[in-house]
């Protein structure tokens, strides 16, 4: 996929990946965990690292617990296991540290920058891929998620990475007319389901939407859909079956909790149907307010399949989760790569336009480019400062030193 990319562009891509990696190395180095999800996920991962692969919150519950309460129970099925397994494996290899808990997010977050480039290259061309990769590498929004400062750490980052991989492989399968490539797309989709269940089904939704094109309504493309769904089923179903039959109460409680988030405003007070739309300028910069309408206008004018894929990747999750009564920004984080691509498309569109206009108009277009870049950098800077100041970080507890003073095996300290 990089064969047709020039050496200079490969060098620039390597620079983006290296600097994006180093920024994220700094971000994950914070010693403290963050409220609230990271605290629970790190504890479950610690129990995986030191015990069995079964996700457990309290490994040895001394008191009766409520399986419906995800903050106090034993076997922890509040979230699917893939992100927790990755964090547990990292802790098992490198020891129990905050940075080893975040290491999978660092790796997946850096690889996601590369996937953003490949998506831009396959759907459009190298230049849009590079611009999108640069936006992704230095996005304060992405860095906050990769560092666990905001969001659901390894769980959200696993979902985003495997959804990206599944979409990229789906695009390659359609371009190369390859059933094998579509099977790999289904495997990535299955891993995304194990990362955060049904939000990952956006990939199958994209493929179904493409089947609406007359040229896609063939037996071959129906076979593609069957191969994707079948591959995903083979990867995800064994765990779903095992968990639902081994721990039926905990499994059912996890599914009920997800439904409650759709039906009731949990944690967030009153429901705001525009909540996710309002957060786009905050998370991606005010330039996104121009870029997104421009992108949808391009879809209307060009009827491009590439633009349709990116548009639906944004539109479907935003529509579904805007209807959910609980407003949580993490629900649409996996829409970040297509939004980065829309920003890159807008920058490139304006850049190309300014080459063919009169001098006075060119100044206006250059002003838009510089303003968009400045607004994006401002958002990135603000979020990086929040990471540096320990936003949402929890003070180190004195419980551990106290527990270490008690000369018994597995001491328990009650507050």
Average pLDDT over the chain, rounded to whole? 85
User: Residue range 396-403: average pLDDT?
Assistant: 52
Domain count, the chain: 1
34 band by pLDDT with thresholds 50, 70 and 90:
confident
311 is in which domain, residue-wise? 24-405
Torsion of CA 104, 16, 6, 362, to 10 degrees: 140
Q: What pLDDT is attached to residue 392?
A: 53
pLDDT in tens, 305-323: 899 999 999 999 999 999 9
Q: What pLDDT is attached to residue 222?
A: 86
Domain presence at residue 353? yes
Domain presence at residue 2? no
Domain presence at residue 4? no
pLDDT in tens, 339-372: 999 999 988 887 776 666 655 555 555 565 566 6
Cα–Cα distance between 363 and 401 in angstroms, integer? 63
| Residues near 186 by beta carbon (within 8 Å), at least 6 away in sequence | 166, 227, 228, 229, 230, 231, 232, 235
Domain presence at residue 6? no
| Residues near 175 by beta carbon (within 8 Å), at least 6 away in sequence | 122
Domain presence at residue 33? yes
8 Å CB contact between 344 and 136: no
Domain presence at residue 144? yes
Domain presence at residue 104? yes
Domain presence at residue 247? yes
67 band by pLDDT with thresholds 50, 70 and 90:
confident
pLDDT in tens, 105-132: 999 999 999 999 999 999 999 999 999 9
Helix or strand (DSSP H, E) at 316: helix 305-323
């Amino acid at each position: 996929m990089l064969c047709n990319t020039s050496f200079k562009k490969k060098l620039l891509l390597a620079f983006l990946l290296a600097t994006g990696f180093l920024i994220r190395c700094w971000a994950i180095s914070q010693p403290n965990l963050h409220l609230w999800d990271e605290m629970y996920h790190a504890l479950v991962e610690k129990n995986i690292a030191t015990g069995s692969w079964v996700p457990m919150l309290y490994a040895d519950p001394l008191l009766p617990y409520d399986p419906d309460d995800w903050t106090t129970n034993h076997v922890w099925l509040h979230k699917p296991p893939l992100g927790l397994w990755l964090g547990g494996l990292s802790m098992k290899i490198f020891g129990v540290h905050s940075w080893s808990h975040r290491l999978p997010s660092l790796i997946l977050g850096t690889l996601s920058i590369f996937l953003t480039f490949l998506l831009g290259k396959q759907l459009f061309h190298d230049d849009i891929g590079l611009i999108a990769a640069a936006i992704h590498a230095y996005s304060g929004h992405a860095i906050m998620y990769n560092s666990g400062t905001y969001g659901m750490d390894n769980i959200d980052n696993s979902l985003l990475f495997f959804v990206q991989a599944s979409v990229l492989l789906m695009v390659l399968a359609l371009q190369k007319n390859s059933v094998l490539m579509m099977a790999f797309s289904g495997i990535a989709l299955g891993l995304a389901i194990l990362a955060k269940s049904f939000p990952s089904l956006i990939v199958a939704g994209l493929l179904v939407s493409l089947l609406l094109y007359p040229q896609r309504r063939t037996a071959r493309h129906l076979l593609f859909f069957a191969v994707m769904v079948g591959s995903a089923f083979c990867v995800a179903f064994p765990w779903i079956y095992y968990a639902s039959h081994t721990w039926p109460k905990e499994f059912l409680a996890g599914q009920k909790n997800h439904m409650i988030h759709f039906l009731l405003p949990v944690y967030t007070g009153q429901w705001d149907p525009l909540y996710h739309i309002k957060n786009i300028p905050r998370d991606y910069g005010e330039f996104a307010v121009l870029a997104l309408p421009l992108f949808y206008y391009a879809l209307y004018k060009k009827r491009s399949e590439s633009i349709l894929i990116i548009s639906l990747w944004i539109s479907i999750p935003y529509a579904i989760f805007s209807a959910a009564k609980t407003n949580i920004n993490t629900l649409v984080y996996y829409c970040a790569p297509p939004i980065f691509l829309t920003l890159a498309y807008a920058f490139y569109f304006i850049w190309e336009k300014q080459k063919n206009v009169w001098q006075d108009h060119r100044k206006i277009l250059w002003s838009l480019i510089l303003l968009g870049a400045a607004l994006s950098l401002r958002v990135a800077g603000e979020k990086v400062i929040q990471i540096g100041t320990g936003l949402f970080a929890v003070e180190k507890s004195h419980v551990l030193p106290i527990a270490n003073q008690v000369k018994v095996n597995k001491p328990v300290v009650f507050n």
